[in-house]
Amino acid sequence: MNEPIGLYIMAAMYILAGVMHFVKPKMYMRIIPRYLPNHKALVFWSGIAEILLGVALCIPTLKAFSIYGIIAMLLVFLLVHFYMLSSEKAAAGIPKWILILRIPLQFLLIYWAWVYLG
């Protein structure tokens, strides 16, 4: 356990986020852009990916792989953030200013992961 506590907080965050895909799948299906196929499968597999990447952060030999996977996943998830801005239904009643703030937050999360590559 020589890793900084922030790495374990990040791991817990992604594991919890992944678990939520199975607890509230309809919420996640609603925010997937309509042009993407099979929303149910996308929610399932993105949940699995988040859980596995979160766990892999805690395994030294898999940490770098996990960080690159998290960064790629966060970049792909930008599609969802932009879709939520463009669709009333996908926005789910979240105020537009919060949806706008989520975009730079996504880049902060990418930076947070990148910091642990060193």
pLDDT per position as a tens digit, 56-72 = 999 999 999 999 999 99
pLDDT at 88: 80
As a whole number of angstroms, the distance between CA 56 and CA 88 comes to: 36
As a whole number of angstroms, the distance between CA 31 and CA 90 comes to: 5
Chain-centre distance for alpha carbon 10? 11
What is the CA angle 83-110-117, rounded to 5?
A: 155
pLDDT at 6: 93
Query: What are the tens digits of pLDDT across the range 10-42?
Result: 999 999 999 999 999 998 998 898 889 999 999
Parse the chain into domains and list their residue ranges: 5-115
Query: What are the tens digits of pLDDT across the range 71-105?
Result: 999 999 998 889 888 878 778 788 989 999 999 99
pTM of the model: 0.90
